[in-house]
Structure 1
Amino acid sequence: MNTPALDRRGFLRATALAGALPLLPSLAGTAAAPASAIAAASGAALPAPAAWRLRPFALADVSLSSGLFEDKRALMLDYARGYDVNRLLQVFRVNAGLPTLGAVAPSGWEGLDGEANGNLRGHYTGHFLSMLSQAYASTGEQVFADNISTMIGALVECRQALNRSPSVRSVPGRFGTAVESQRGSYEFAQLPTTVLGGAAELTFAAWVRPSHGAAWARIFDFGNDTTRYMYLAARNQNGLPRFAITTGGAGREQGINANVALPVGEWSHVALTLADTVATLYVNGVVAGRNTAMTLGPAQLGQLRNYWLGQSLYPDPVYAGAFDDVNLWSRALTDAEVAALRTQPASAAPAGRGDLASYDLDEPDGQVLHDFSGRAQHATWLRTWGGPSHPGFLAAYPETQFITLETMTASNYFVVWAPYYTAHKILRGLLDAYLATGDLRALDLAEGMCDWMYSRLSKLPAATLQRMWGIFSSGEYGGIVEAICDLHALTGKAEHVALAKLFDLNRLIDSCAGAQDILDGLHANQHIPILTGLVRLHDETGEDRYLAAARGFWNMVVPARMYSIGGTSTGEFWRVSGRIAGTISDTNAETCCAHNMLKLSRMLFFHEQNPKYMEYYERALFNQVLGSKQDKADAEKPLTTYFIGLTPGHVRDYTPKQGTTCCEGTGMESATKYQDSVFFAAGDGSALYLNLFVASTLRWAAKGVIVEQSTAFPVEQDTRLTISGNATFDLMVRVPAWVGPGFAVAVNGKALKLDAVPRTYLRVARTWRSGDVVTISLPFTVRTEAALDDRSLQSLFYGPVNLAVRDASRSYLSVGLYRNAALSGDLLPSLTPVEGKPLHFTLDGRELAPFHEGTEDPTHVYFRRSEPIVVFGGRDSGVANPVRANGVSLLDELWSGAPYGSKTELLKKLESLTSSWVTDGLLSAGDRSTILATAKCAQFVP
C-alpha cells in the first residue's frame, strides 16, 4: 500500500497506536502461522470492553475449512476480487467535483439516478469496504488490501475537495475548452447582479452539451424566487427546450416551447432573443419557436437577486453538462446573426462578443469565469449547497441532506433518506479498513466524520434530536452508535461518547428497559441496530439502562416476532407480538434484520452466557443467512435477498432493486465473516466456548494452541476437535436445543460421563496435550415448530436445518407426519431420504430440501399440519383423530410425551390418554378400542 507521509498530528497518532497493534506470539512447536495471521499484523486491535465476560477471536484467528460455509464465502470473495471499486467511488467523486476516471456507478439504490433521487448513495460503498476488510482479515489476499487502499485514498481526496471551494472542471469545448458541471456535483455559475445593466432587450446565446436527460434542468435562470423570473430549460416535460418569463409565478408564465430537442452528449447551440413583443428561441442557428405576443421582458422584471447558469429557482435538477461561448447582448440579434454563431465563436462572428457579458470559458481551474465584454462581469463557480463543507464532512451527497433533516417533521425520502444511516455504513467501513490494514488515513477519516457529527448534533436541542430519530426512514441511523463507541475504544476521546449519547432514542430505550412492548408498527431494521449500539454504549459508560433495553428488546423479538428460519419483520415492519401466521407475506424476513439480530445476540452473549442467544444465532445463520445467498457466481451483483417471502411457493429474489440495497450490503458482510462466532474465549482465558459446529481452525495465540474442528456438519451429525499445543482450559460445548437422544462427548476415544442437558453448555475441564481429539456426537431428529398464533401452521426441521418443501403451489400444503413416528418422537421415519442428495427427503411425492440451499425453486417453509386419521407405524386405524377446542389433537398429546423407552410404555400412555378423551366426550369407547388394537399391532421404530 502507498500511504502518504504523515503530518505531525498523524505521526503522534501513529506512535500512540503502536501499542494497540495485536501481538502474534510464536506458535513454534505447534504449527506455522498462516499468511492471514501475518497479514493481520499490519492491522490494529479493537480492545475488548472490560464488561465482556467473553472475548471474540479476530477473523484472522479462525479460518474456514472445506464445507458449506467456505463454499458460500468463495462466491462472495470472487465478486469482491473482481468488482471495480472505482464504480462505487464515482458518486463520492462527482459530489466532490473530482474526475470519475470514466467509472459508472451501479444502479438500484446506489448511483446518481438511484431510487428517491439517489438519496442513499454511498451506503453500499461502506458495506463494500467492510466486506473487503473482512475478506482481507480472513484470507490475507493482497488484492483486498489494494482495493481498500484505493478506496481510502479516493475518499481522502474527496474530503479534501469538499473542504475547499469548488473549482471549474475544464473539458474539450466547441471552441477551445469548456467548463462542465458533472452530474451529482451540484455546481453552477453565478453571474453578477449587474450583468443585464438595465437592458430592455436581450439576446442570450451559448453552446451546451447536456450529459443527462433530466427534465427542467436550467441553462439559465434569472430571478428572485418562484414568482419573478425568466429561464431557459434544456428540457421540459416533453423533452424539448423551454423559455419562460413571469412576474406572477408558474401559472402566469409567457414563453416558448421549442420544436427540436437538445441531444444528450452532443454540442448544440441555443439562443434566445427578446425585443418588444417578440421572443424567439433558436437551436443550432435555426428558429425553433417564436412568440409574438410577449408583454414581459427584462425591464418588467427589474433588478433581480439571482443570475444563474445551470441552477434553478425551483427544486429542479442542476444542469449536468458543459457550457461554452456564453454571450449576452443588450439587443435582439437578427436571425442571420444567430445563424452565424453556429459556425464560429461570438468573438469572430458578425455580432461580435456580447456587450453585456462574454464568457469564453477557457479557464483551466479556479472559481472565476472571466468576462471579455469589457464590463468586468466576471462569474463565480459555486456549489448549490454552499462553499467548503464543514471540516470532517464526508458523503456522496450534499451536506444539505443532514441540514434539512433537522427541520423535518415527517418522512419524505425523496427529500431526505436516512443520511446518518449512510454515514454509519461509511464510518463502519472506514473503521473496518483501519482494523484490517492499519491504514491511518482510514482512522483519520473516521475521526473527522465523528468530529463533524458532534459539531452539528451537539448544538441541537434535545427535543429536536428525539424528533429526528423518531422519523421513519429519514431519521434512521443504523448501527452508528456501535461504530462511534468502537472509535472511542481506539481514541479515548470523550467527545465520541458524548456523540454516541446524542443518538439516544429515549422512548425506545425506556420502553424496552421497562419491558413495555412498543414494537408494533415500528420499522424493524431502523431499530434493531440501535440496540446493538446501546450494548456498546453500556460498555463505554457503564449505564445499566442501555444493557437492560437491549435485553428487553431481544425478548420482544425472539420468539414473539421470529419466523422459523430466524428472520423477523414483514414489509420491513413489525406487527403485534405473537403474530406469526397472521403476517405471512411475500416480504417477510428482511435480510438486514437477521444480520443485525445476529450481531445483537452475539453481543448480549458476551455479557450473559445464556445459551438462548447462540441458539438463535445458529438458527438464523444456518437457515436465513445462508439461504439468503444464491449458490452461483456473478461479477456484477452479490446475489443476496432483500426479503424472503414465506408465502406458499415463494421464489427467492437474489437481485432486488438491481442489487445495491441495504440487504445486499449486509449480505456481503455476512458472507465474509461466517467464522466470527464459532469460538469465543473467556475473558481470563480459562475457557474456550464452542458455539457453532462449522469446519474451521482456531489459532489461539494467547494459549499457544491450535484447535481444528473437522466436520461436514450439518450433513454429518458429529464434529471432531483436534488440539495442537499444550494448555489448560475448560472446553465449553454447546448442547443444542434440537439435539436428539445420544448426544455424547469423547476425548481420545473415551466417552465422558457427563450430564448433557439441551440448551446448556457442557464443561470439559482438562489440561490439553498436543494430539488430543474431542469427538462430539450430535444426533438429529425431525421435528415441527408451530406458529405462535396458529398451531396448524408449522415448519419442519431436521436438527438445526429447516426443511422446505419444493412445490410451485401457491396454497398451503396439507402435511401429515405421525404415520411412522418413532418411539423417541422423531418424525424422520415418515420421510424418505433422496439417494445422493444429503438432507433431501420426499414426503407424499414432494421433495424437501434444506432452506440454506440458495436456489430459485419455489418453496414452502410453512405448511398446514393435517393428521385426520389415527395412524401408528403406518397402520391406519380408520378412526378420526379427535381434536380439542384449543386445536390439540389426540395424536398431538400422545407424541408430546415422547420419548418412550419402549412400545409398552407408549401403549400404557395411550390407554390412559384415550380414557380421558372418552371421559371428556371427545372419543367413543368403540373408537378407543380400535385405536388401542391398532397400536398393539403396529411396529414402532425406536
Structure 2
Amino acid sequence: MAPPLSRRTLFRAAALTATTASTADVKRSVAAPATRAGASGAPAAWTVRPFGLEDVTLGPGVFAGKRQLMLDHARGYDVHRLLQVFRANAGLSTRGAVAPGGWEGLDGEADGNLRGHYTGHFLTVLAQAYRSTGEQVFADRIATVVGALTEVREALRRDPAVLSVEGRFGRAAENVRGSYQYVDLPATVLADTPALTLSAWVRPAHGAAWARILDFGDGTTRYLYLAARNANGVPRFAVTTSGPGGEQGLDGAVPLPVGEWSHLAVTLADGTGTLYVDGAAVARNTAITLTPAALGTLADHWLGRSHFPADPVFAGALEDVNVYARALTAAEVAGMQNRRAADTPAGRGDLASYAFDETAGAGFADASGRGLDATLRRTWGAPSHPGFLAAYPETQFIELESMTRSDYTRVWAPYYTAHKILGGLLDAYLATDDDRALDLASGMCDWMHARLSVLPATTLQRMWGLFSSGEFGGVVEAVCDLYAITGRAEHLALAKLFDLDRLIDACAAGTDVLEGLHANQHIPILTGLARLYDETGEQRYLTAAKNFWDMVVPHRTYAIGGTSSGEFWKARDVIAGTVSDTTAETCCAYNMLKLSRMLFFHEQDPAYMDHYERTLFNQVLGSKQDRPDAEKPLVTYFIGLTPGHVRDYTPKQGTTCCEGTGMESATKYQDSVYFARADGSALYVNLYSASRLTWAEKGVTVTQTTRYPKEQGSTLTVGGGRASFALLLRVPSWATAGFRVTVNGRAVPGAPVPGRYFEVARTWRDGDTVRISVPFRLRVERAPDDPTLQALFHGPVNLVARRPGPEAVRLGLYRNAGLSGDLLPSLAPVPDEPLHYTLDGIELAPFAEGTEDPTHVYVRRSEPRVIFGTVDSGVANPARGDGTTLLDEVWAGAPFHGKEALVARVRSTVAAWVSEGLLSRADGDRVVSTAQKASYAR
C-alpha cells in the first residue's frame, strides 16, 4: 500500500490556472490528474517518495543548532523591507520601509535588476519554517507577504493611482522611488508662449542625477526641462532645439535637500533666464536666445519623467505646480514661500496649474481655466497580462526577447526572478492553504505562458542560451509540479517552452559540453528536465539529467561537495587547476543536492546520497556562520579554496542568490534523511542525523538518536504499532572500516558493502532498536590533476587546516599510520573538542564549523623521508614522475591484516623501485629494516 503523502509532502508547487478561473476552479481541477500521478499523488515515475518537512523533526545536534539561527533570523526580519520594491513598482506606499541592500535595491548591482528574487526565497524559508515547527509566527508572516503581493498585483492590473501625502500646504502627490510613474500633461500646455515661468514645490526622496521635475519635449532633440539634480547634484534648467550639445541653461549652486520641501522657479523672457530656489535667485543667464515658442509643437509634456530613457524617474513629492505665460518678478516668486501660488499676487499659472490635492484616482485637475487636466501614467505602460507580478517593470522580459548578446546590466535573469517569486508563493500555499498565494502563482504562470507561447522557437533558444540574462532557475520544476496537480495542457506546454535543446541533446548523448558554461544557470535546468520526464515520459529528459550529474560528480566537484570556479565550469577533472577565491558557489551546492535528490526518486543509486552527505555535511553546513544576526542570514556566496581563505558571510552587501538558497537550505536540513519506497515496503535511511520520523501510513515513528558525525554511528528506535517493512540503511562509500548493525542487541547477519544499502527486513514492534556502528578512518582525497594537493576526511567530515595563507599547509601523514590504512594515529586529538586535532602545531577542524578562521581545505602532502610507526629510516621518500611516492604505493595496499602483511608489501614495493632505478639497494634495505622494527597502530 502506498504511503498517503499529502500535497505538501509531494509537491513544492500548487495548481496553476488562468486568471479568468477562480480558486475553486483550480481546486476542482486537482482531482483530474490523480490517476496519472497515482493514488498518492506523486509522479508515477518515482519509485521512492519523500516525506514532508512536518513529518521529520530534527533532534539536538549541529543541524538543529544551525537551523535555530536561521529561524530566529526569519522570525525577526522586517518583511515590509522585502515588499518595498514590489510596492514601489506598483506605485503603492512603501510604508517607510527601506529595501534591503545588495541585489534587492535600486542602488544594488545592475541597478537592482534582480530585485524581488529574495522575497521569493524568504517566502520559501517561512513556509519551510512553518512546516517544520508549526509556529504561528511563520504563518502570520506568510500571510503578510501574500496579502501585500495581492495588493501589488491588483495595483499593477489597473491604472496607477495617486499616492496622496501631506504636502507643504495641503496634500501632495508622491512618486515613490522605483515606481516608474509620471504625470502626463496635455500637449498644448506651452501654447507657443515667448515668455515663461515654471514654479513647483518639490520634496526629493533620493539624490539621483538627472531626475526631471518636468520635461516638455519632442524626443531628445527639442525640449526644455527642470531637473532636481544635474551631474554635479544641483538643480538645472535647460532649453534646446539641437539636443544636449545645444542646451542653454541655468545651474543652481547647492543641492536640494533630500526629504525636505524646496520651491523651484524658472523665469524666461527677453533672452534672460533666472533660476530661483526657495525664493532666492541662484543663477541668471542673459544669453538664452531660445523660447518655448522656438521649440514648436512638442509631443510630450511630463512631470517626473525625462525624455532620455536612461534617466531615473523623479522620486519624491510634487505640490502646487504652475506654468505661466510670462516671467514673474522676483517679488512674486519670493511671495510663494509661505503660501500657495493661488493665494499670492502671482495667482495660479495661466498656462497650467496643479495643486495635487487629489487623494484618489489617476487624474489631476488643472485650475488654470484651460481645462488641461493631467493623468498619472507608468513609463512602461501596463502589463501584458493581468497575472503579471514583479518588483520591476515588464520591460525586463520584453527586452530579453530581442537581445542577442549577454548584458546583465540591461537585463538580469527576469525569469529566474519570476521563478523565485513563483516558488515562494507555491511553497506558501502548500504550507498554509492560503488561496491568495495559489491565485498569485496561477496568474504568474498564465502570464508567462501568454508571453512565451507566441515567440518563435528560435527566439526562445536564443533567450535561454544567453548567459545570465536568459537564466531561468528552476521554473520548469515548479511548473511541472503544478501540471501534476492540475493536468492542464497549457501548464505542460509552458514547462516545455524552456527547453534549451543544445544542452539537452548533448547531455542526453553523453557529450560533455559543460566547460565554459555558467554552473548555476544550468544545474536547475536538469532538475526541471527530470520532472519533465515524469510528466511526458520523454526519455531524453531523464537521460540528460543523469548524464549531466555524472559530468559534475566527481569530475567537477571539490572536496567539500561544491562545484564551479568563478561561477563557471572549467575542463573535466581539473580541480587543482581551478582552485581560487571564487570557487564553490553556494547556490551550486544547493541545486546539485536538489538534482541528486530528484534522480534518487527515479533510480536508487547510492552515489546520489553519498554526494548528498558530502555536500550537506561540509559545504552546506559550513556556508552558514555560527552566530546570530537580525539583519543578515550570514551565508557564503563563494567558498574560496585557496590557502588560508577566510569565508565571507555577508557577500555583496547581502541578498544574493546564495543567501537566498542558503536560507532555504538551513530550514530544510531534514528533507532527505528518510524516503519511503513507493509501495510502502521499505524505508530508506539516507543520512545519519538526529531526527524523528512520523510515518503515518505505517502508524509508526522512527527516532534516530545520534551525535553523528561526532559519534561514529546511530541508534534508531521504532515506536507505535506493528508494521512490516524493510529498513534500508545507507552504507557510505567511505565506510571501509566496517559497518555493523544490531537489532535489539543481536547482530544482523550479512556483509554490508560500502556504497550500497544494507537491508534489515522484519515486522517491527514498538521499542525495537537498531544500532548502527560505522567506524571512521582518516583518509585523503587527491586532486585528479595534482595528486600532491589533497583534502583530509575523517568519515564524512572534511578536516581543514586552520592557519593564515597564502602559503599552502604541508602535512606528512604516513608517520604513524595504522595497519588499517587509517592516518588518524598521526594526529593528536584536542581534548574535549570532538573532530579537532593537531599536527605539527597546526589545528585541524571540521569545515562545517561556520567560523571566520583562515582555512585550508586542500593541503600539500609532504612526506620527505620514509617513516614507519614514527621510526625514521633516514631514506628520502622517492617519487615517480606523476608525483606518486614510495610510501603512497606501500600504503595503497592497506588495510593489512598484520605487521607481516605490511612488511611483505614494503619488501615487494622496494624491490620494484630498486629494479626501476628509483631507489638504491642499500636505501631499500634500510626501508625494509625500518618497517620490520616499527610498531603500528591498528
TM-score range, shorter chain: over 0.9
> 2:915 matched to which residue of 1?
919
Match of 2:657 among 655, 662, 687: 662
Aligned to 2:508: 513
Counterpart in the other structure of 1:633 = 628
Report whether the alignment pairs 1:10 with 2:23: yes
1:284 aligns with 2:297: no
1:917 shift after superposition? 0.8
- Which residue of structure 2 lines up, in the alignment, with residue 719 of structure 1? 714
Which residue of the partner structure matches residue 147 of structure 1?
A: 141
- Which has the higher mean CA deviation after the structures are superposed, 276-285 or 773-782? 276-285
Given that 2:31 and 2:485 are in contact with CA atoms closer than 8 Å, whether structure 1 keeps it comes out as no
Q: Could you list the per-position Cα deviations for residues 55-78 of structure 1 after superposition, in whole angstroms to 9, with x for gaps in the alignment? A: 000111111001111111111111
Q: Does the aligned pair in 2 maintain the 1:46–1:486 contact within 8 Å?
A: no
Match of 1:564 among 546, 559, 562: 559
SS at match of 2:709: coil
Question: 2:893 matched to which residue of 1?
Answer: 897
Normalization by structure 1: what TM-score?
0.96
Q: Is the 8 A contact 1:226 1:249 kept in 2?
A: yes
User: Alpha-carbon deviations, 1:343-379, whole Å to 9, x = none?
Assistant: 2211121121111111111111111111111111111
In structure 2, what is the equivalent of residue 29 of structure 1?
none
1:350 matched to 2:345: yes
- Write the distance in 2 (CA, Å) between the matches of 1:437 and 1:421: 24
Instruction: Specify whether residues 713 and 19 from structure 1 end up closer, same or farther in structure 2 by C-alpha distance, changes over 3 A only.
Output: farther
Contact 1:680/1:689 (<8 A) preserved: yes
How far residue 111 of structure 1 moved from its aligned partner, in angstroms, is: 2.2
Asked if the contact 1:918–1:924 (Cα under 8 Å) also holds between the matched residues in 2, the reply is: yes
2:393 maps to 1:404? no
Q: How much does 1:931 deviate?
A: 0.6
- The answer to which of 113-122 and 177-186 deviates more is 113-122
2:7 aligned partner: none
- Secondary structure of the corresponding residue to residue 380 of structure 2: coil
Q: How many residues align?
A: 914
- What one-letter code is carried by the residue in structure 2 that aligns with 1:225? G
Tell me the residue number matched to 1:530. 525
CA distance in 2: counterparts of 1:382 and 1:121, whole angstroms: 22
SS at match of 1:674: coil
Aligned to 2:794: 798
Deviation at 1:740, TM superposition (A): 3.4
Residues 26 and 486, structure 2, Cα contact 8 Å, conserved in 1 = no
For the residue of structure 1 that corresponds to 2:592, the secondary structure is helix
CA distance in structure 2 between the partners assigned to 1:279 and 1:417 by the alignment: 43
Residue 377 of structure 2 aligns to a residue in which SS?
A: strand
1:81 and 2:75 correspond: yes
CA–CA distance in 1 between the matches of 2:798 and 2:759? Answer: 28
Q: Which amino acid aligns with 1:416?
A: V
Give, in whole Å, the separation in 2 of the partners of 1:673 and 1:731.
Answer: 23
Residue number in structure 1 paired with 2:866? 870
Which residue is equivalent to 1:250? 244
Q: Any residues of structure 2 matched to 1:754-833 within 5 Å, and which?
A: 754-833=750-829
- Report what 2:13 is aligned to: none
Please name the residue that 1:321 is paired with. 316
Match of 1:376, SS state, is coil
- Quote the residue 1:25 is aligned against: none
User: Residue type matched to 1:477 in 2?
Assistant: F
Letter in 2 for 1:385: W
Structure 1 residue 137 corresponds to structure 2 residue 150:
no
Q: 2:153 aligns with which of 154, 159, 167?
A: 159
Q: What is the TM-score of this pair, normalised by structure 2?
A: 0.96
Report the secondary structure of 2:188's partner residue: coil
Q: Which residue of 2 aligns with 1:35?
A: none
Q: Is 1:170 matched with 2:183?
A: no
Q: Is the 8 Å Cα contact of residues 583 and 640 (structure 2) preserved in structure 1?
A: yes
SS of the equivalent of 1:150 reads helix
Do 1:166 and 1:388's aligned partners in 2 also have CA atoms closer than 8 Å? Answer: no
SS of equivalent to 2:88: helix
Contact 1:430 1:445 in 2 (8 A): yes
Task: Decide whether aligned partners of structure 1 residues 534 and 8 sit closer, same or farther in structure 2, where only a CA change above 3 A counts.
Answer: closer
8 Å Cα contact 2:215-2:223 kept in structure 1? yes
Distance 1:733 1:19 in 2: 37
| CA spacing shift, 1:536–1:796, aligned 2, 3 Å | same
Displacement after TM superposition at 1:601 (Å): 0.4
Partner of 1:28 in structure 2?
Answer: none
Once the two structures are superposed, the pairs formed by residues 925-936 of structure 1 within 5 Å of their partners are 925-936=921-932
- C-alpha distance in structure 1 between counterparts of 2:562 and 2:40, whole Å: 29
**How far apart are the structure 2 equivalents of 1:440 and 1:548?**
37
Structure 1 residue aligned with 2:596: 601
CA distance in structure 1 between the aligned counterparts of 2:824 and 2:702, rounded to whole angstroms: 33
Other structure's SS at 2:618 match: helix
Q: Give, in angstroms, the shift of residue 492 of structure 1.
A: 1.6
What is the CA distance between 1:387 and its match in structure 2? 3.4
SS of residue matched to 2:714: strand
CA–CA distance in structure 1, aligned partners of residues 761 and 112 of structure 2? 56
- Counterpart code for 1:884: R
Match of residue 114, structure 1, among 94, 108, 113: 108
Asked whether 1:855 is paired with 2:851, we answer yes
Does residue 748 (structure 1) correspond to residue 744 (structure 2)? The answer is yes
Letter in 2 for 1:803: L
Contact (CA 8 Å) 2:33, 2:486: kept in 1 or not? no
CA distance in 1, matches of 2:156, 2:304: 20
Cα distance per residue 1:787-843 (max 9 Å; x no partner): 111000001000000000010131111111000011110001000000010000000
Post-superposition shift, 1:8?
Answer: 8.5
Distance across 2 between alignment mates of 1:591 and 1:85: 24
Contact 1:431–1:487 (CA<8 Å) still a contact in 2? no
Residues 420-469 of structure 1 show CA distances to partners (whole Å, capped at 9, x for unaligned) of 11100000001111111111111111110000000000011111111111
User: SS state of the match for residue 762, structure 1?
Assistant: strand
Percent identity of the aligned residues? Answer: 67
CA distance in 2, matches of 1:11, 1:627: 44
1:732 matched to 2:728: yes
Counterpart CA distance in 1 for 2:500 and 2:321 is: 53
Q: 2:367 aligns with which of 372, 375, 378?
A: 372
Q: Report the Cα offset of residue 46 of structure 1.
A: 9.0
CA contact (8 A) 1:46 1:435 kept: no
Structure 1 residue 269: Cα displacement: 0.6
Aligned alpha-carbon RMSD (Å): 1.5
Q: Cα deviation per residue 1:637-666 (whole Å; 9 max; x = unaligned)?
A: 111101111111111111112221111100
* Structure-2 separation of matches of 1:499 and 1:17: 18
On the 8 A contact 2:385/2:450 being kept in 1, the answer is no
Deviations 1:578-608 (A, max 9, x none): 1111111111111000000000001001111
**Structure 1 unaligned residues grouped into runs of 5+:** 1-5, 22-44
Which SS does the other structure have where 1:193 is aligned?
coil
Contact 1:200 1:275 in 2 (8 A): yes
- Give the deviation of 1:413 after TM superposition: 2.1
Structure 2 gap ranges (5+): 1-18
**Alpha-carbon contact 1:228-1:249 (below 8 Å) kept:** yes
| 1:422 alignment counterpart | 417
The correspondence for 2:441, drawn from 423, 441, 446, is 446
Alpha-carbon distance, 1:13 to partner: 3.5
Q: Are 1:104 and 2:105 matched, yes or no? A: no
Q: Distance in 2 between matches of 1:752 and 1:17?
A: 45
Task: Report the 3-state secondary structure (helix = DSSP H, G, I; strand = E; otherwise coil) of the residue aligned with 1:299.
Answer: helix
Matched residues in 1 for 2:809 and 2:21: separation?
A: 69
| SS of residue in 1 equivalent to 2:22 | helix
C-alpha contact (below 8 Å) 1:126/1:425 kept by paired residues: yes
Distance 1:46 1:277, change over 3 A: farther
Q: Is the 8 A contact 1:707 1:721 kept in 2?
A: yes
Preserved contact between residue 166 and residue 387 of structure 1 (Cα < 8 Å): no
Aligned counterpart, 2:45:
51
Equivalent residues in 2 for 1:284-323 (5 A)? 284-314=278-308, 315-323=310-318
String of CA shifts for 1:82-105, please: whole Å, max 9, x gaps: 112111111111111112222222
Secondary structure of residue in 2 paired with 1:559? coil
Residue range with higher mean Cα deviation, 759-768 or 683-692? 759-768
**Equivalent-residue separation in structure 2 for 1:8 and 1:555 (angstroms):** 43
- Tell me the secondary structure at the aligned position of residue 180 of structure 1: strand
